[in-house]
Every structure is written in C-alpha cells, then in structure tokens.
C-alpha cells in the first residue's frame, strides 16, 4: 500500500503593525493567515515605534528576514513617516512597506477590490479606491472643531447644549470631548429630541463624504452597488450604524449601496500584505 506523501509544513511568517490613535497592535501570522501571536500597547510617539517593534520581534524569537508592514495614521499625507521608519528600522527588522492605518482597514474590508471605507470615530474620513489602486481621501482634516459628523464634532455640540451644563468642558482634551458622543447617541436612542436632531445632522455630514464615491461608482460601474465598509468607534454602536445606513440609502437612492464591516483586523491585513510583498520580492 502506497503511503500518502506528507504535507510540507508552511513555515512562512509575517508581522503586521497597526498604529492607531489610541492603540498600537502587532500580530504575527503564518502562511495560512492564522494569527500566532499578538500584543496591544497604548499608542505613543512615532519615534518610539521602532524600539517597540524590535523588542517584540526579539521576544517572539523572529529571524531577521521575517517581513513587516507598518500601518500608521497619517502615512498617506505625511510622507516623512515612511522615510523615518524605513531609516530607523534598517538592519533591525525586514520592514517591506509603510502604509496608512486607513489603507490597512481598507484591505481588511475589501482586499484588492474597488470600494469605499468610511471611518467614524474621534475623527471622520472616507477613502475610496479607484481602478489601478489609487486612493482618494475625503474629509479627515482634523480641525479643532472636529471633522463633521465625528465623535469630536458630536461631543462638542452635545456639551454646548448640555443641561445641566458640564463645567469647564472646553478645557477637556479631544478624546475626552469625543467620549461624550456615546452619551449623545444613547439619549437619541431613548428618544431625546435634541439628541435625535444632533445625531441626524451627524449622519447627514457623514453620508456627505460618500457623495463623490457614489457618483464615480454609478458612472463607472453601470449601476453596480458600491460596497462601503464602516468602521470606527461610532459605527460600533448598533443604533448609530443602523440609523446611518438607513439615512444614507435614502439620500443616494436610486444608487445601490452595500454596507459591510471589516473581514479581519487591520493588523492582520498588514501582515498579509507583508507576506505578499516578501514573496514577490523573493521570486523577482
């Protein structure tokens, strides 16, 4: 009786880093996409990120050739971040690319397909991928008053009209102000008229970010639905997400919109990208 040949174990490994506004997540995956290790740390200055990655790689016993992709906020608009990280990590780890955290979230939702990613958390921004892979950014300017429809924007307006008044709220930092958005959403869900009006206005501002992507998709794709991934702290609230989707569909009828979540964590998507880049470079 002929024995079946044994399968060669998949020894490929890759590291993905997602440096967001609040937390930095680092994962190790194998060639099957299975997560093997993970750490989560509070985000700090980008100047401290190289040491965190090197310490993590050493703690995990990783060999120098293991590929790494870093996804960090601001990488699309602040090109110096990629240059800085590549320089700092040269000879320390095999950093194969630096992308924005939004690009990693997009990959986690859509992979290589065309679509849109709407992030609604402390800030708000839309990324729409065009044919050929080019990303267009709408919103996300980070103004002092908060991106329209964002948690900061909602929190500030909620605090301005709060009864009883919240003392010294103007001295709060951005995250503390944005945290009041959750209270506004809860009051809207309970039927408070002022909160309902505020959340409805936020939905209008957020859906407005989709306008360009919807029009481009309608012209280019002959009426095919636009797939929109929703992520961020606000979109994790079921009431906020459900009422936003209903308002956006009414606004853009007869265009068809399909709303989805992320299929996997952004840091896993970054690790998958690292593995793909490493394989292409190895075979080139």
Q: What total number of domains does the chain contain?
A: 2
Beta-strand ranges (E) seen in the chain are: 13-19, 23-30, 35-42, 67-72, 94-100, 116-120, 124-129, 135-139, 226-231, 257-260
Enclosing domain of residue 226: 113-260
CATH code for the domain in which residue 152 is found: 3.30.420.40
Who wins on pLDDT, 175 or 130? Answer: 175
Cβ count near 22 (within 10 Å): 10
Q: Is residue 73 part of a domain?
A: yes
Could you tell me the two tokens for 46?
């980008």
Q: Is residue 6 part of a domain?
A: no
What's the pLDDT tens digit per position in 39-85? 999 989 999 999 999 999 999 999 999 999 999 988 888 899 999 99
Cis ω before 254 (30° cut-off from 0): yes
Q: Is residue 2 part of a domain?
A: no
Q: Is residue 5 part of a domain?
A: no
Q: Is residue 2 very low, low, confident or very high in pLDDT (cuts 50, 70, 90)?
A: low
pTM listed for this prediction: 0.83
Distances, alpha carbon 276 to alpha carbons 67, 270, 280, in Å: 9, 10, 6
Euclidean distance between the first and the last CA atom of the chain, given in angstroms as a whole number: 41
Distances, alpha carbon 31 to alpha carbons 5, 10, 35, 206, 228, in Å: 20, 6, 10, 38, 28
CA–CA separation, 207 and 203 (whole Å): 6
pLDDT(275) > 70? yes
């Amino acid at each position: 009786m002929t024995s079946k040949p044994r399968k060669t174990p998949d020894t490929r490994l890759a590291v993905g880093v997602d440096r967001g506004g609040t937390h930095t997540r680092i994962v190790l995956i194998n060639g099957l996409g299975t997560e093997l290790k993970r750490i989560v740390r509070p985000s700090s200055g980008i100047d401290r990120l190289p040491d965190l990655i090197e310490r993590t790689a050493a703690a995990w016993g990783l060999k120098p050739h293991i590929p790494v992709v870093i996804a960090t906020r601001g990488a699309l608009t602040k090109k110096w971040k990629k240059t800085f990280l590549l320089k700092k990590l040269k000879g320390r780890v095999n950093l194969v690319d630096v992308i924005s955290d939004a690009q990693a979230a997009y990959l986690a939702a859509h992979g290589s397909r065309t679509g849109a990613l709407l992030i609604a958390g402390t800030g708000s921004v839309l990324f729409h991928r065009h044919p050929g892979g080019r990303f267009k950014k709408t919103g996300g300017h980070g103004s002092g008053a908060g991106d329209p429809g964002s948690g900061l924007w909602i929190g500030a307006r909620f605090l301005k009209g709060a009864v009883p008044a919240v003392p010294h709220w103007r001295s709060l930092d951005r995250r503390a102000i944005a945290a009041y958005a959750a209270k506004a959403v809860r009051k809207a869900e309970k039927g408070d008229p002022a909160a309902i009006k505020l959340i409805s206005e936020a939905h209008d501002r957020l859906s407005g970010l989709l306008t360009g992507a919807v029009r481009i998709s309608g012209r280019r794709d002959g009426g095919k639905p636009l797939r929109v991934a929703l992520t961020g702290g606000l979109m994790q609230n079921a009431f906020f997400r459900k009422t936003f989707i209903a308002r956006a569909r009414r606004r853009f009828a007869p265009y068809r919109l399909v709303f989805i979540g992320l299929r996997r964590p952004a840091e896993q998507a970054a690790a998958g990208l690292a593995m793909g880049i490493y394989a292409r470079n190895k075979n080139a």
